[in-house]
C-alpha cells in the first residue's frame, strides 16, 4: 500500500501520516458559525475536508470526523438582539440550511455535529482545570482569561513571536483588568444582551458564556480524546483560533492536542478573500437556482490544490461545467449495456489499472486533486478510444467500470442526469446566442463555425424565420 503523506502546518513540511491506532483517523474539522448561511468560501474548506475523509477511506482507514457548529458567539448574540430572538431561534434555521447545502454539494456527513451550547459543562470543567494548573485567572471584569505568558510554547503553530502578537480575535483590547493584553477569554462574564438572548450559564465564576476558542477544545477532547490524529480548517483559523486551542488543551492535559494540522487556502473573488463583511459572497442557494451542478463545483474546487488560493470566475466555472459533462457522457457510455455487449480490449484493462495507480499516487501525496483529475480525464480519453474498437473483451469493461467507480468515489464529479441535461441545454443556448450575435453583425463564418461545433456534439439546428430551433440527434 502506498505511503500516505500530508502537509503538516505545525512542522511546515509534507510528512507521512497514519492514525495512531493504525485503524481509525480521529479528525476534528472546524464547522460554521451559524448566524448566516455558509458561503462558497466556507464550502471550499468543507469540500477539502470531504476530499480528505474520502481519501483516508480509500487508503483503507476508518474515519471518525467531528465538525462543530458554533451556535453561541458575539455575532450570533448581536443578531439575536437585533431581531428580538434567542440565540437558538437564530441558529436552528441556519443549521438546517447548512445541512441542506452540504448534502447538495455531496459532502459526506461527519460522524458528529456537536453544538457548542450542548457542551457547556465540559467547557466549564476545562476552564477549572486551567485555573487549577495556574495558567488561567479571573480578572476584575469577572471573565476568566488564559495567561499566554505561562504557556512557553505559545505561537508554535502560527510561528508568531508573542512580543508581536496583538490582542486576538474576539478579545476586548482595551480591558486593562487582564494581566496581559494578549490573553484571550476562556469564559466571558455575562452582559445584559447575553441574558436577554439565552446566551448565559451558571459557572463557578458567575453567570457567563464560553469563549470561542474554548468551545472547540472541549468538544474535540470530549468526543475524540485528548490527542487527535488530525485537525483541519481554513488557513484563516491558524491564528488565533487554532493557536489558542493548542494552548488551552495542552496546558490542561500535558499531552499533544493534535498530531497533525491541515489547512486549506482561501477562495477568492476578483483576487480578494471571500467574506460576508465585504459582500463578495456567493451562496450554494445561488448555484442551485442557476442549475449549477454539485459535480461541476466539486471539479472546480478539486482542480486547484487545497493549499493554493482559488479564484472564482465565470470562465473557470464554465470550464468545470463542460468538464463534468464529458465525465457524465463517459459514465453513461461505460455503464451502458452496449459497452459490455460489444466489449473492450486488453489495452482498456491496462488503462484502467494505470488510471487507478496514477490517481491514488496523486491523492495519497497531500491530496493532489489536480493530478487525480488529470489521471481520470486521461483514462476517459484512452477508454473511449478502446471502446470504439469493440474488442469483445467483457472482462476489460468490468475492470474499467471498477476503476472509474474507485476514482469517482473520491472525486464524485459525475453529474446526475437532470443536472447533466440542464448543463447541456445551458451550453446550447449560450452558443445559439453567440450565433445570433454573429449573424446580426453578418459574420457568417463565425455563425457557420458555431453550427459545426453544435453538430459535432450531436445538436442539429434549424433556422425558421427569426427563430432557431434545435434537437439532439
Check whether residue 260 and residue 339 sit in a common domain. Answer: no
Using DSSP, state whether 64 is helix, strand or coil.
strand
For cell 475536508, name the residue.
49
Express each pLDDT in 230-248 by its tens digit. Answer: 999 999 999 999 999 999 9
Please state the domain count of the chain.
3
Check whether residue 446 and residue 398 sit in a common domain. Answer: no
Check whether residue 34 and residue 176 sit in a common domain. Answer: yes
Check whether residue 401 and residue 461 sit in a common domain. Answer: no
Check whether residue 366 and residue 455 sit in a common domain. Answer: no
* Residue-number span of the structural domain to which 432 is assigned: 417-472
Check whether residue 166 and residue 144 sit in a common domain. Answer: yes
Give the CATH number for residue 385: 1.20.120
Check whether residue 80 and residue 152 sit in a common domain. Answer: yes
**215 within some domain:** yes
**288 within some domain:** no
Sign of CA dihedral 428, 433, 438, 440: positive
Check whether residue 243 and residue 374 sit in a common domain. Answer: no
Q: How far is CA 426 from CA 198, 420, 429, 431, in A?
A: 48, 10, 5, 9
Check whether residue 193 and residue 330 sit in a common domain. Answer: no
**Domain boundary residue, one of 411, 433, 452:** 411
**Domain boundary residue, one of 411, 428, 448:** 411
Express each pLDDT in 61-86 by its tens digit. Answer: 999 999 999 999 999 999 999 999 99
Nearest to 183 by CA among 211, 207, 203, 206: 211
**444 within some domain:** yes
Give the CATH number for residue 199: 3.40.50.620
329 CB neighbour count, 10 Å cutoff? 17
Length of the chain: 473
335 burial type by CB count under 10 A (0-12 exposed, 13-18 middle, 19+ buried)? middle
Check whether residue 395 and residue 435 sit in a common domain. Answer: no
Nearest to 239 by CA among 175, 182, 307: 182
**Domain boundary residue, one of 411, 429, 457:** 411
Express each pLDDT in 309-361 by its tens digit. Answer: 999 988 899 999 999 999 999 999 999 999 999 999 999 999 999 999 999 99
**53 within some domain:** yes
What number of CA atoms fall less than 13 Å from residue 388's CA on the CB side? 7
> What is residue 175's predicted lDDT score, i.e. its pLDDT?
42
Check whether residue 181 and residue 213 sit in a common domain. Answer: yes
The DSSP code for 377 is H
**104 within some domain:** yes
Under-50 pLDDT residues of the chain: 167-176
**283 within some domain:** no
Check whether residue 380 and residue 432 sit in a common domain. Answer: no
Sign of CA dihedral 93, 94, 95, 100: positive
**298 within some domain:** no
* Residue 295 near residue 340, CB atoms below 8 Å: no
Question: Alpha helix (H) ranges present in 181-265?
Answer: 192-196, 212-224, 243-253
CA 285 to chain centre: 16
What is the distance between the alpha carbons of residues 157 and 147, in angstroms, rounded to a whole number?
Answer: 17
Using DSSP, state whether 231 is helix, strand or coil.
strand
Over its C-alpha atoms, the chain yields an Rg (Å, rounded) of 26
Express each pLDDT in 435-469 by its tens digit. Answer: 988 888 988 888 889 988 888 778 888 887 677 88
What is the distance between the alpha carbons of residues 470 and 81, in angstroms, rounded to a whole number?
Answer: 55
**306 within some domain:** no
Amino acid at each position: 500500500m502506498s505511503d500516505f503523506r500530508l502537509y503538516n502546518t505545525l512542522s511546515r513540511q509534507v510528512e507521512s501520516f497514519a492514525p495512531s491506532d493504525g485503524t481509525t483517523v480521529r479528525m476534528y474539522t472546524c464547522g460554521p458559525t451559524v448566524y448566516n448561511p455558509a458561503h462558497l468560501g466556507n464550502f471550499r474548506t468543507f469540500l477539502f475536508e470531504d476530499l480528505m475523509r474520502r481519501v483516508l477511506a480509500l487508503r483503507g482507514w476508518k474515519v471518525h470526523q467531528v465538525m462543530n457548529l458554533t451556535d453561541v458567539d458575539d455575532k450570533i448574540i448581536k443578531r439575536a438582539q437585533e431581531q428580538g430572538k434567542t440565540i437558538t431561534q437564530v441558529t436552528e434555521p441556519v443549521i438546517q440550511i447548512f445541512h441542506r447545502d452540504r448534502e447538495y454539494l455531496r459532502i459526506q456527513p461527519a460522524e458528529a455535529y456537536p453544538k457548542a451550547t450542548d457542551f457547556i459543562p465540559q467547557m466549564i470543567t476545562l476552564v477549572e482545570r486551567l485555573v487549577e494548573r495556574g495558567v488561567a485567572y479571573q480578572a476584575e471584569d469577572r471573565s476568566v482569561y488564559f495567561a499566554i505568558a505561562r504557556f512557553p510554547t505559545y505561537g508554535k503553530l502560527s510561528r508568531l513571536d508573542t512580543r508581536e502578537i496583538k490582542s486576538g480575535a474576539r478579545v476586548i483590547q482595551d480591558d486593562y483588568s487582564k494581566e496581559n493584553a494578549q490573553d484571550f477569554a476562556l469564559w466571558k462574564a455575562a452582559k445584559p444582551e447575553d441574558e436577554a438572548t439565552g446566551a448565559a450559564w451558571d459557572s463557578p465564576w458567575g453567570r457567563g458564556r464560553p469563549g470561542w476558542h474554548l468551545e472547540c477544545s472541549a468538544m474535540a477532547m470530549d468526543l475524540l480524546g485528548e490527542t487527535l490524529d488530525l485537525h483541519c480548517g481554513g488557513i484563516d483559523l491558524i491564528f488565533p483560533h487554532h493557536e489558542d486551542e493548542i494552548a488551552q488543551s495542552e496546558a490542561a492535559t500535558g499531552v499533544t492536542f493534535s498530531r497533525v494540522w491541515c489547512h486549506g487556502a482561501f477562495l477568492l473573488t476578483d483576487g480578494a478573500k471571500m467574506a460576508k463583511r465585504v459582500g463578495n459572497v456567493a451562496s450554494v442557494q445561488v448555484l442551485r437556482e442557476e442549475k449549477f451542478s454539485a459535480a461541476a463545483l466539486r471539479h472546480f474546487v478539486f482542480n486547484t490544490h487545497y493549499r493554493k488560493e482559488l479564484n472564482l470566475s465565470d470562465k473557470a466555472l464554465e470550464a468545470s461545467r463542460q468538464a463534468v459533462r464529458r465525465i457524465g457522457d463517459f459514465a453513461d457510455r461505460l455503464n451502458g449495456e452496449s459497452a459490455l455487449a460489444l466489449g473492450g480490449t486488453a489495452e482498456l484493462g491496462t488503462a484502467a489499472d494505470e488510471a487507478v495507480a496514477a490517481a491514488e499516487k496523486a491523492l495519497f501525496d497531500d491530496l493532489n486533486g489536480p493530478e487525480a483529475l488529470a489521471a481520470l480525464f486521461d483514462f476517459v480519453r484512452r477508454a473511449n478510444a478502446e471502446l470504439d474498437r469493440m474488442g469483445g473483451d467483457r472482462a476489460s469493461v468490468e475492470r474499467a467500470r471498477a476503476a472509474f467507480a474507485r476514482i469517482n468515489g473520491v472525486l464524485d464529479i459525475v453529474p446526475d442526469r437532470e443536472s447533466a441535461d440542464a448543463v447541456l441545454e445551458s451550453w446550447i443556448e449560450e452558443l445559439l446566442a453567440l450565433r445570433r450575435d454573429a449573424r446580426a453583425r453578418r459574420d457568417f463564418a463565425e455563425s457557420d463555425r458555431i453550427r459545426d461545433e453544435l453538430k459535432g456534439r450531436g445538436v442539429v439546428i434549424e433556422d425558421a424565420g427569426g427563430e432557431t430551433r434545435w434537437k439532439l440527434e
